[in-house]
Structure 1
Amino acid sequence: MTLTSPLLSAVPGLRHAFFTREGGVSNGIYASLNGGLGSNDDQTHVAENRRRMAETLGVAPSHFLTAYQVHSPDVAVVTEPWTPESRPKVDAIVTATPGLALGVSAADCGPILFADAQARVIGAAHAGWRGAFMGVLESTLAAMEKLGADRSRVVAAIGPLIRQRSYEVGEEFVHRFGRDDPANAQFFAPSERTGHAMFDLAGYIRMRLERAGVLLIDDPDICTYEDERFFSYRRTTHRGEPDYGRHIHALVLEA
């Protein structure tokens, strides 16, 4: 049901998990561990799935937190639980409060989990291409530093996401990245279709993290599009399915 990062697993006083779609109660296209509050799945199933994930991390369901993600660079600092109705519209969460599990929802985008063991500060970021491009990773690190973290000590784990071999994009997408920085050309490979290219989201995320001063980065090199253990927005689109499940990837400081 879960995957872990070797680097994060070595951090004392920390629990984390990259959840697969296995081990839940949802049916059909949502089978089975769908944690997406924004999906059209039966919300009682979603609640039970999230309860199971919270239990895996050793927290109460009320302390298993995810934001209302909007593909932004915005970050929320968390000191106490919120309700599903009051969750902030941001794409990253940070805390120094033990017992609060910080989660991000994803189904092809990049889930990034951060931890500074010495400062006891953690963060979780949802980095699709737009969020990464707009600076959500750098915003997360800046928010962690305000809580006492040092980015040179931070461990960052990149979770399962869509990989370059499955991520075809159009010409304007390539031009947007090229206008921002000509060096971004390294993240695009030729596509079989004229006017398209294959985008390396994981490589782009790693570069942004390295440029921001993160020295320790983990990446399992798992593709959510190819691997049926994971939900994939793009795979759902290609199959003509009406909706898709969402993963939650999360971490928590032990109390």
Structure 2
Amino acid sequence: MTLEIITDPALKGTTHGFFTRAGGASSGVFKGLNCGYGSSDQHDIVSINRERVAKALNVQPDRLVGVHQIHSADAISVTGPLGTTIKADGLATATPGVALSVLTADCQPVLFADQKAGVIGAAHAGWKGALDGVLEATIKQMETLGAARANIAAVIGPSISQRNYEVGPEFLDQFLQADPTYSRFFAGGSGDRMHFDLPAFGLYRLRQIGVRSATWTRHCTYADPDRFFSYRRSVHKKEADYGRLIAAIRL
């Protein structure tokens, strides 16, 4: 089976993609293109999957750069291969031939490009990272490399949609404590449960800091098990583990 790669016109001029689970070598609950070494999938199988992604991006496997994601607001600038112990959730580079990547399974994978300046970025933005400022931190790293936020295009890839993201009152309280107007990203659910709109929140934060071109691909990871891995769906199905999707971009 061939890889399925979701691209967006806003990032035209870069080699990029939000990869679905199609075309991978993994099996079982990881069936497809599981690119997460942090899963309990076989290490060599994950390596095969990542090699397929690197080939699709036309880079060597060691130039498919990622970090140890920790749901933080930390972002770094990179020029080449990284060690596996570097902890962050956002990356930026102006180095041609380096593909920046993030792994997700409901959280937002966000790809950035200022094509005028020749600077790209990638961020793993779950609710905590987005609330704490990982999108802003990634853009700041891009700016240190010469990007201008008014020229940056940002695309949010497949993420869990509001319809499938049920949360409790403690979750809501964290957002209201940060800014009472964040109530707009919550809709009523059953009892004291609410539904959080993660992609809308990401788009809002991007636009608030001056990113003029910010879009979401409108794919829900939870709702489409044939195409996407989903942490929350795996929990609801009582599965032992879950695969990780990869999103990547290179100049």
Q: Residue 89 of structure 2 contacts residue 134 of structure 2 at CA under 8 Å; is this kept in 1?
A: yes
1:142 maps to what in 2?
Answer: 140
What does residue 123 of structure 2 align with?
A: 125
Tell me if the contact between 1:157 and 1:218 (Cα under 8 Å) persists in the aligned partners: yes
SS in structure 1 at match of 2:149: coil
What's the CA shift for 1:82? Answer: 2.1
- Amino acid corresponding to residue 130 of structure 2 in structure 1: A
* Distance (whole Å) between structure 2 residues aligned to residue 240 and residue 172 of structure 1: 24
Q: Any residues of structure 2 matched to 1:1-255 within 5 Å, and which?
A: 1-9=4-12, 12=13, 14-83=14-83, 85-86=84-85, 88-191=86-189, 193-228=190-225, 229-253=227-251
In structure 1, C-alpha distance between the alignment counterparts of 2:28 and 2:82, rounded to whole Å: 30
How many correspondences in the alignment?
247
Deviation of 1:195 (Å): 1.0
How far did residue 22 of structure 1 move?
Answer: 0.4
State the identity %.
49
Alpha-carbon distance between aligned partners in 1 of 2:228 and 2:56, rounded to the nearest angstrom: 18
Q: Which amino acid aligns with 1:246?
A: R
The letter for the 1-side match of 2:19 is F
Task: Quote the RMSD (CA, aligned, Å).
Answer: 0.8
Tell me the amino acid that sits aligned with residue 146 of structure 2. Answer: G
Alpha-carbon distance in 1 for matches of 2:80, 2:198: 32
Q: CA deviation at 1:218?
A: 2.1
Structure 1 segments of 4+ aligned residues over 4 angstroms from their partners: none
Tell me if the contact between 2:112 and 2:154 (Cα under 8 Å) persists in the aligned partners.
yes
Gap runs ≥5 in structure 1:
none
For the residues of structure 1 that align with 2:156 and 2:42, how far apart are their CA atoms? Answer: 29
TM-score by length of structure 2 reads 0.97
Q: Is this contact kept in 2: 1:6–1:218, CA < 8 A?
A: no
Q: Once the two structures are superposed, what CA deviation does each residue of 1:186-238 show, in whole Å capped at 9, x if it has no partner?
A: 000010x2111000000000000000100001211110000121000000000
Per-residue deviation at 1:179? 1.4
3-state DSSP class of the match of 2:171? Answer: helix
